[in-house]
Structure 1
Amino acid sequence: MELRHLRYFVAVAEAASFTAAAKSLNISQPPLSQQIRDLEEEIGTRLFARSSRNVELTEAGADFLNHARMILGQVEHAAYQARAIGSGQVGTLNIGTTGSVLLGPLSTLVARFKDHSPGVFVRIHEMDPQTQEAALIAHRTDLSFVRRPRHNADLVATVAWQEKVGVALPEDHPLADREKIELAALEGESFVFLRLVDSRFARYLHDCCVAAGFVPNITNEVVESYSLTSLVAAGLGVALVPECIQNLSRPGIVYRALMEPAPEADVYVISRPNHGPVVASFLEMTREMFA
């Protein structure tokens, strides 16, 4: 039994006429009649009661019609679902990222993607960069957004959007009245920093300080950038932070830009090289949004 047998059967049943059904199917009547006979022979019972004037369903035919319509409907839905998945309009997208990256435009990007592809379920997984990489390789996530990614030949990393690094200061700090601050002017300050052992971005900022002529005096280390603001507000030091941290409103803190050449806090999107259509669609929207 093939799908065309079911389609031919439904067409005859709904038209109650071999002639009308053949016309709607754009085939001649003799082949249609033969297909229906083949179907009845395979099933082992008559589906139509034929007379010289009309065609009526038998009791078995009426029951078979319900099943045939259901099967054809399921096939049509399966085809639609396959096309939707193949075009990236349906599926699941798991994104790994850090909390500080979420303070930037990633949430806007996800919201725009959801408007474009409402059939895709997006999950955000907050995790440190090392865990993100492992999850991506293990196919637990599909994309990662990180700063200063580690080179991995099995993954593809490109800049998603650009950010600069600024400095968070207590509002009564002597440098707070400046619009921009030279990195070298922070020599001698106490710093609160991202944890150097965990963060390539933290090590990069440390190296930028060294290049500016001083080794930062790090008094406290934290895991997430937004935690730095709490320590700055408590008067425990100043902090080098990505621009997006300015979106955190915290009393007692001011954010100031660094003079060029300022350190970079660019965010990279990382994916596996052989990704599916949903990931391809999201990456294309990322390129368009930040072009």
Structure 2
Amino acid sequence: MATQKLRNFVVVAEELNLSRAAPRLFVTQQALSKQLRDIEEAVGVRLFDRSTRSMALTPAGEEFLASVREALAALDAGVAAARSASQRVSGTVHLGFLMGGALELTTPILAEFSARYPDIRLELRETGLDDPSAGLADATSDVAIVRLPLAVPDLDSVPLFVEPLIVALPPRHRLADRTSLTAEDVIDEPLAIGRTTDAVWRRFWTLDDHRGGRPPRVVRETTSPTEELQLVAAGLACTITVVGARRHTPLAGVRYVPLTGLPGSTVAVAWRRGHRSPGVERFVAVAQQVRDRESAIVRAIEAPPA
């Protein structure tokens, strides 16, 4: 018996009226009546008691209906499972990130991705400030959580949030008691900056676009935000960082003052153009969905520092 005939049988059993069942199934009453006779002939018993005025399932019809529903449900589940298997993605995705990653969004993104795609192995790799591309520049990462801008060519990205900038100052610095600072206030201060060859990234964090051609007074190169803050605490430099540094890398004595009038630091999920594998595609999609779902977290991250 064709499965469509069985599905039609279920509809007739529910309606117990050919004139109502036929429109639901987009067939004529005559064709539907013939299908029922074919099924009864194949089963070898009468499934309906029919008269000119009424229609009812026989006891055999009741039993057959229950079995048909179970069989169709199993068939539908099998089809769904087969389709799901054909779309299942496996393999390994190498995820690079800088210290802090996507801040408070990191955990929900990783948890959601692992729950949704258990067959994809997610390999995590944290990089230092010497590689702000988090492995994209040398292709050791398939996808990365980075801070823009970067000098990496052919880079595609999806922003997650924009974090306000802040200046980390030594505790007895002349600007430490200010409630806010501008680029003009700090461009002549000695700065600590990540040791990297990425000129675009370096230009952003040394405020070069706001210097009017003046080079930084002193630049002390580091490989991590922790090193930067140790230099600040020792009174050897200041550093341009983000408001999240107060939460994630606190250091006794370091004073943080909001930096106003400048665009913030954009945290994004990024990948090399032409290298968006199925696993990367799914990771990017999950990151976007979690970003949109966790709007309260995003608002808290993007809030101006007090």
Q: Normalised by the size of structure 1, how large is the TM-score? A: 0.60
C-alpha separation between the residues in 2 aligned to 1:187 and 1:149? 21
Query: Shift in Å at residue 290 of structure 1?
Result: 2.7
Equivalent in the alignment of 1:144:
144
Equivalent in the alignment of 1:173:
173
Say if 1:156 and 1:270, in contact at 8 Å, map to a contact too: yes
Equivalent in the alignment of 2:136:
133
Query: Shift in Å at residue 117 of structure 1?
Result: 3.4
Equivalent in the alignment of 2:223:
223
| CA deviation vs aligned residue, 1:210-254 (integer Å, no higher than 9, x gap) | 15x854222411122332111111111110113332221211112
| CA deviation vs aligned residue, 1:153-191 (integer Å, no higher than 9, x gap) | 3x4233233223211112332322223211211243222
Aligned 1:1-291 pairs, distance under 5 A: 83-84=84-85, 86-88=87-89, 90-101=90-101, 105-127=105-127, 128-129=131-132, 132-136=135-139, 140-147=140-147, 148-153=149-154, 155-195=155-195, 197-198=197-198, 200-206=200-206, 207-211=208-212, 214-246=214-246, 247-260=248-261, 262-272=262-272, 273=274, 275-291=276-292
- Figure out how many residues of one structure are paired with residues of the other and give that number: 210
C-alpha separation between the residues in 1 aligned to 2:143 and 2:289? 17
Are the structure 2 counterparts of residues 129 and 193 from structure 1 closer, same or farther at C-alpha, using a change threshold of 3 Å? closer
Say if 1:94 and 1:143, in contact at 8 Å, map to a contact too: yes
Q: Could you say what secondary structure the match of 1:101 adopts?
A: coil
Say if 1:205 and 1:263, in contact at 8 Å, map to a contact too: no
Query: Shift in Å at residue 269 of structure 1?
Result: 2.1
C-alpha separation between the residues in 2 aligned to 1:112 and 1:218? 44
C-alpha separation between the residues in 2 aligned to 1:253 and 1:240? 13
Q: Could you say what secondary structure the match of 1:113 adopts?
A: helix
Query: Shift in Å at residue 94 of structure 1?
Result: 1.2
Are the structure 2 counterparts of residues 264 and 110 from structure 1 closer, same or farther at C-alpha, using a change threshold of 3 Å? same
Q: Could you say what secondary structure the match of 2:264 adopts?
A: coil
C-alpha separation between the residues in 2 aligned to 1:167 and 1:81? 55
C-alpha separation between the residues in 1 aligned to 2:200 and 2:82? 42
Equivalent in the alignment of 2:51:
none
C-alpha separation between the residues in 2 aligned to 1:275 and 1:81? 25
Residue type of the alignment partner of 2:290: M
Structure 1 ranges of 4+ moved more than 4 A? 79-82
C-alpha separation between the residues in 2 aligned to 1:217 and 1:282? 42
Say if 2:133 and 2:150, in contact at 8 Å, map to a contact too: no
Q: Structure 2, unaligned stretches of length 5 or more?
A: 1-41, 44-79, 293-306
Equivalent in the alignment of 1:9:
none
Are the structure 2 counterparts of residues 115 and 243 from structure 1 closer, same or farther at C-alpha, using a change threshold of 3 Å? farther
Say if 1:87 and 1:278, in contact at 8 Å, map to a contact too: no
Residue type of the alignment partner of 2:185: A
C-alpha separation between the residues in 2 aligned to 1:199 and 1:243? 23
| CA deviation vs aligned residue, 1:58-91 (integer Å, no higher than 9, x gap) | xxxxxxxxxxxxxxxxxxxxx9699457244x54
Residue type of the alignment partner of 1:133: L
Q: Normalised by the size of structure 2, how large is the TM-score? A: 0.57
Residue type of the alignment partner of 2:233: A
Residue type of the alignment partner of 1:163: E
Say if 2:136 and 2:144, in contact at 8 Å, map to a contact too: yes
Are the structure 2 counterparts of residues 92 and 82 from structure 1 closer, same or farther at C-alpha, using a change threshold of 3 Å? farther
C-alpha separation between the residues in 1 aligned to 2:167 and 2:86? 45
Are the structure 2 counterparts of residues 178 and 114 from structure 1 closer, same or farther at C-alpha, using a change threshold of 3 Å? farther
Say if 1:87 and 1:277, in contact at 8 Å, map to a contact too: no
Equivalent in the alignment of 1:38:
none
Q: Structure 1, unaligned stretches of length 5 or more?
A: 1-26, 29-78
Aligned-residue Cα RMSD (Å) equals: 3.3
C-alpha separation between the residues in 1 aligned to 2:159 and 2:291? 10
Residue type of the alignment partner of 2:266: D
Residue type of the alignment partner of 1:201: W
| CA deviation vs aligned residue, 1:7-28 (integer Å, no higher than 9, x gap) | xxxxxxxxxxxxxxxxxxxx99
Say if 1:167 and 1:255, in contact at 8 Å, map to a contact too: yes
